[in-house]
Amino acid sequence: MSANKKLEFNRKQKLLKRRQQKLASYYKNRSKKNAEYTTTKHRAIKRLKNALPRTPKRRSATLAAYLQHTKSPAVEILRQAEVVSSPEDQMGMAIEKAALEDIKTAIDSCKTKRSKDSVTSMNVLVASISGEKVTETRCRKNLAKKLGLPVRRLSRGNRIRTTILKSEKSCWAYVCRKTRKDALSEETKRLAFNFWMKPGISHPTGNKADVKRERIGPKTYSSHQVYLVEKTQTELLNENDVYDENNVHVYDYISDIVDVTLCNKEDNVHKISCLKTDCGECGINKLELLPEETDDLDTAQIVKWERFEKVCT
């Protein structure tokens, strides 16, 4: 090893040793300060105990009187650190306790019942008390113990609450009926029911045991016979009377509608005058339309045209 390398090596060793000494001195001084602070704190607490009255009742009365001093900076710091509750916080805790007791009473009266109204009320109560704050503070288990409910029940209430907050519907609307915007109306359901109940489309099975039963309330049921379909859905769709009760012709392709509005073909080709709408014999007037489609009054109903594509199976 050359002389320059030895000097460089010794210099680095001295710098490393000096750095280690500084770190050791820093940690030593810090532990010393902590020890001094702990000792000072212990002595202050001891002096405070000696200054207070000897009996526990008088000692607690003195501390309570001091902590109720609203103008004390020390008391204000304790309140900000949530070590001591302010009068407003104490009133809020009393209100929360009373509200929790009322909710627990309502839950106790509903959780053992199995009627539709009781289940609905239970869902509303559980959804209203299982929100984001309960999840953030992780107190769902303790809240379930206070209310006498399993934790799964509160988790289900949280799911119901999340679904409610995503829409403008209330708790009652969500648990009582569907909230889908594309749900079928009662008139559409009745129209489909009347169609499938036609004599040529379905008939009862003839067996008295084939009964469909549904519970609609407490000790209240609705029942009807089971029906069998005589024709498949494909066969019904191929019949023209499925599309309209007036037996208006239903076209399979757009070209069929075009052929109806034009004159007959010559050599499998339409005349050029017909295609350019210069012919006086053909036109849109040859297309059969419903009375609702040709009505031009202000009170006329809006008729929607729909296009379906046949799929070969």
Q: What confidence tens digit (pLDDT) does each residue in 122-179 have?
A: 888 888 888 778 888 888 888 888 888 888 888 888 777 766 655 444 444 444 455 5
Q: Is 142 within the bounds of a domain? A: yes
Pair (161, 206) in one structural domain: no
The pLDDT confidence band at residue 79, using thresholds 50, 70 and 90, is confident
Pair (108, 172) in one structural domain: yes
Whole-model pTM: value is: 0.35
Mean pLDDT of the chain: 77
CA 207 to chain centroid, in Å, comes to: 44
Q: Is 60 within the bounds of a domain? A: no
Q: What pLDDT is stored for residue 174 in this prediction? A: 42
Pair (118, 167) in one structural domain: yes
Q: Is 119 within the bounds of a domain? A: yes
Q: What pLDDT is stored for residue 247 in this prediction? A: 58
Structural domain including 215 reads 186-229
Pair (112, 172) in one structural domain: yes
Q: What pLDDT is stored for residue 165 in this prediction? A: 59
Side-chain-facing half-sphere of 124: CA atoms under 13 Å: 16
Residue after which a domain boundary falls, among 114, 149, 176: 176
* Number of domains observed in the structure of the chain: 3
Which DSSP state fits 299?
T
Name the H helices within the chain. Answer: 3-51, 56-67, 73-80, 87-110, 116-129, 132-137, 140-147, 151-165, 171-176, 186-196, 233-238, 254-261, 272-275, 291-294
> Alpha-carbon distance 48 to 167, whole Å?
59
Q: Is 47 within the bounds of a domain? A: no
Give the rounded percent of residues in the chain with a pLDDT score beyond 70. 82
Say yes or no to pLDDT of 95 above 70.
yes
Q: Is 200 within the bounds of a domain? A: yes
> Alpha-carbon distance 68 to 74, whole Å?
11
Which DSSP state fits 52?
S
Q: Is 226 helix (H, G, I), strand (E, B) or coil?
A: coil
Q: What pLDDT is stored for residue 288 in this prediction? A: 78
Q: What angle do CA 164, 165, 170 make, to 5 degrees?
A: 45
Q: Is 150 within the bounds of a domain? A: yes
Q: What pLDDT is stored for residue 31 in this prediction? A: 63
Pair (121, 148) in one structural domain: yes
Q: Is 267 within the bounds of a domain? A: yes
Mean pLDDT, range 36-43, rounded to an integer: 74
Q: Which residues of 31-68 are buried (b: 16+ CB within 10 A; e: fewer)?
A: eeeeeeeeeeeeeeeeeeeeeeeeeeeeeeeeeeeebe
Of the given ranges (63-67, 138-142, 144-148, 250-254), which has the lowest mean pLDDT?
A: 250-254
Strand partners, 212: 224
Residue with the bigger pLDDT between 166 and 255: it is: 255
Say yes or no to pLDDT of 237 above 50.
yes
Tell me if 113 sits within 8 A of 123, measured CB to CB: no
The backbone torsions φ and ψ at residue 44, rounded to the nearest 5 degrees and listed phi first, read -65, -40
Pair (111, 158) in one structural domain: yes
CA end-to-end distance (rounded Å), the chain: 91
Q: What pLDDT is stored for residue 241 in this prediction? A: 47
Pair (136, 171) in one structural domain: yes
Q: Is 3 within the bounds of a domain? A: no
Q: Any idea which residue has 């295609």 for tokens?
A: 275
Residue with the bigger pLDDT between 235 and 13: it is: 13
